[in-house]
Amino acid sequence: MTRIGAGIGVVCLAVASYCFAYAGAQASQDAGAKQSAPDASTASQKDPGKKEGATTETKRAKSVTVNVVFAGDTKFVDAVKTICQDPHADKLQDCFAEEMKKAGASAAAVEFSRQLGEPGFVRDFRAAGPVDIAYVLYPYRANENQSWVIVNGTPPAIDVDNSKLVTIAARALKNNAAYTGLAKAHPDLSPWPGDRYSTEIPDVEMGANGGVHIIVNYRLREKCHSCAVLGHAWYSFEFDAKGIFAGARLMAISVGRDKGPVVRATGKMVGTSIGTSVGEEITIALPVKEAAGSEWVLAKALDTAKVRLIEHSHVAPPAGNGAAGTEELWKFAALGAGTTQIALQRGAEKPITFRVIVRSRSAGPVGSSPTKQ
């Protein structure tokens, strides 16, 4: 079982029962600490309405709405970390809550922050059918200070990174050919939190009878937080129409190639194609005018049966000499064979469209890298 940090909750899933502890616990993480994402995997609840296991709720979230959002900027974060330094968890939490109030946070935002179990706040909120997604920032964490919390379901809150899913995760990963291939070369391979900053993700897909699937990806790393990202594991967090959590199902593994080529946008992009294979990852680099933030957006929805967004840099990557970079990187996973398009747009400019040709594994070597054709 991989290591899980304490956070908003601990979810234990068995085949026909679960236990939920909405536990408040200090979770400031040391730099370089080995914290990984959940041992998530295929899990199902045969009778979601029947709770055979003990249900412990020290704190249970009330119905959560967009009112929990707090516009805490970098100025607030820097100030509160200077003011609130008491190492005792309760006092630190109280101080943080008071500073939120002074900064104009709503009562709902302050209350939700208290329930997180460590100083943090909701920076954005997204409706997702029978449940909702709260984008949480934890200012005191040394690593992984962004997270997604699925709220308003049963259990009432699931942190996709700090929730502990006790299922057959290890078996599911080991039965995946792409994962086992990586693990042979990297014996300590394990899942770690993916990009939790972008609000373009996670993908939210409607399921049967009004249910919903929330697609979450985890970085595959070996040993440490600063180690190279070798690929991604994709899971579907599945809820029925009443918001009852039915489990996290392993969907796919995508593999990144060391020093793989990057497709760069130029002034003559008409007809540009990217060739890749199922299970591979592709990166598109776009020019930026201002290094202060993201300029590009997806011009149209992705065909997620073929490609999914992994992450993109909101700030231009720095150059080797320490100066601000001039490119914004968008990384995608090719998960289904066929031909599709990725269209990206900056402001009112004409979108740049890439034709993506995804070969099946049998049509070519899995290790083939994306190329500009």
pLDDT digits (tens, 9 = 90+) for 299-355: 999 999 999 999 988 666 666 666 666 788 899 999 999 999 999 998 888 889 999
Q: Residue type for 146, please?
A: Q
Quick one: 87 and 214 in the same domain?
yes
Q: Which two tokens stand for residue 187?
A: 């014996």
Check if the beta carbon of residue 65 is closer than 8 Å to that of residue 109.
no
pLDDT tens digits, one per residue of 241-250:
999 999 888 9
pLDDT tens digits, one per residue of 173-212:
888 888 988 999 999 988 888 999 989 899 999 988 899 9
More confident residue, 224 or 32: 224
> In the prediction, which pLDDT does 294 show?
65
Confidence of residue 272 (pLDDT cuts 50, 70, 90): confident
Range of the structural domain that residue 219 is part of? 10-255
Position 99 in a domain: yes
Q: Which of 202, 229, 255 is the last residue of a domain?
A: 255
Q: Which two tokens stand for residue 121?
A: 């706040």
Q: Which two tokens stand for residue 200?
A: 């373009």
Strands 189-193 and 157-159: unpaired
CA distance 359 to 367: 11
More confident residue, 8 or 298: 298
Give the total number of structural domains in the chain.
2
CATH number, domain of 314, equals 2.60.40.2020
On average, the pLDDT of the chain sits at 77
Q: Is residue 91 predicted with pLDDT exceeding 80?
A: yes
Quick one: 205 and 293 in the same domain?
no
What's the whole-model pTM score? 0.77
Question: Which burial class, exposed, middle or buried, applies to 123 when counting CB atoms under 10 A from its CB (0-12, 13-18, 19+)?
Answer: middle
Nearest CA among 127, 92, 120, 91 for reference residue 105: 120
Quick one: 225 and 84 in the same domain?
yes
CA distance 227 to 1: 19
